[in-house]
Amino acid sequence: MRLFGNAEIDAALSFPGLVDTLAEAFRGNAVVPPRAHHRIERPDEQAVLLIMPAWSAPEAEPPYIGTKIVSVFFGNGARNLPGVMGAYLLMDGRTGAPLAVMDGNRLTLWRTAAASALASRHLANPTASKMLMVGAGGLAPFLVKAHRSVRPLTDIAIWARRPEAAEAVAAQLVSEGIEARAVTDLEGEARTADIISCATNATQPLIHGRWLKRDAHLDLVGAFTMQMREADSDALERGRVVVDSEKAIDEGGDIAISIDEGSYAADRVAGTLTDLCHGRLPGHAEGGEITVFKSVGMSLEDLVAAVSVWENRAPA
Pair 68, 201 in one domain: no
| Residue 316 belongs to some domain of the structure | no
Mean pLDDT score, 288-308: 95
Q: What is the pLDDT of residues 135-163, one digit of tens each?
A: 999 999 999 999 999 999 999 999 999 99
Give percent of the chain above pLDDT 90: 77
Reduce the DSSP state of residue 231 to 3 states and report it: strand
Mean pLDDT score, 284-300: 92
Strands 239-243 and 290-294: parallel
* Dist. CA 221–CA 135, nearest whole Å: 10
* Dist. CA 265–CA 279, nearest whole Å: 24
Mean pLDDT score, 84-104: 96
Pair 51, 120 in one domain: no
| Residue 242 belongs to some domain of the structure | yes
| Residue 16 belongs to some domain of the structure | yes
Pair 204, 87 in one domain: no
Residue type, 85: M
Q: Would you state the pLDDT for residue 75? A: 82
Q: Would you state the pLDDT for residue 186? A: 98
DSSP labels, 151-171? S---EEEEE-SSHHHHHHHHH
Contact 204, 142 (CB under 8 A): no
Pair 56, 162 in one domain: no
Strands 181-182 and 239-243: unpaired
Tally of residues, the chain? 316
pLDDT band at 239 (very low <50, low <70, confident <90, very high): very high
Mean pLDDT score, 239-247: 92
Pair 168, 96 in one domain: no
Pair 158, 136 in one domain: yes
Q: What is the DSSP letter of 286?
A: T
Pair 103, 237 in one domain: no
Q: Is the pLDDT of residue 76 over 90?
A: no
| Residue 37 belongs to some domain of the structure | yes
Average pLDDT, the chain: 94
Q: Is the pLDDT of residue 77 over 80?
A: no
Q: What is the pLDDT of residues 165-193, one digit of tens each?
A: 999 999 999 999 999 999 999 999 999 99
Of 208-217, 231-240, 279-288, the range with the lowest mean pLDDT is 279-288
What residues have CB less than 8 Å from 286, skipping those under 6 apart? none
Higher pLDDT residue, 227 or 112? 112
Pair 212, 195 in one domain: yes
- Into how many domains does the chain fold? 2
| Residue 38 belongs to some domain of the structure | yes
Give percent of the chain above pLDDT 70: 100
| Residue 221 belongs to some domain of the structure | yes
pTM for the full model? 0.94
Pair 41, 181 in one domain: no
Pair 156, 305 in one domain: no
CATH of the domain at 52: 3.30.1780.10
CATH of the domain at 200: 3.40.50.720
| Residue 80 belongs to some domain of the structure | yes
Q: 10 Å Cβ neighbour count for 188?
A: 13
Torsion sign over Cα 277, 245, 76, 160: positive
DSSP labels, 217-248? EEEE----STT--SB-HHHHHHEEEEESSTHH
Pair 252, 305 in one domain: no
Strands 290-294 and 98-103: unpaired
Residue type, 271: G
Pair 35, 62 in one domain: yes
| Residue 249 belongs to some domain of the structure | yes
Of 7-11, 27-31, 201-205, the range with the lowest mean pLDDT is 201-205
In which domain, by residue range, is 293 found? Answer: 112-297
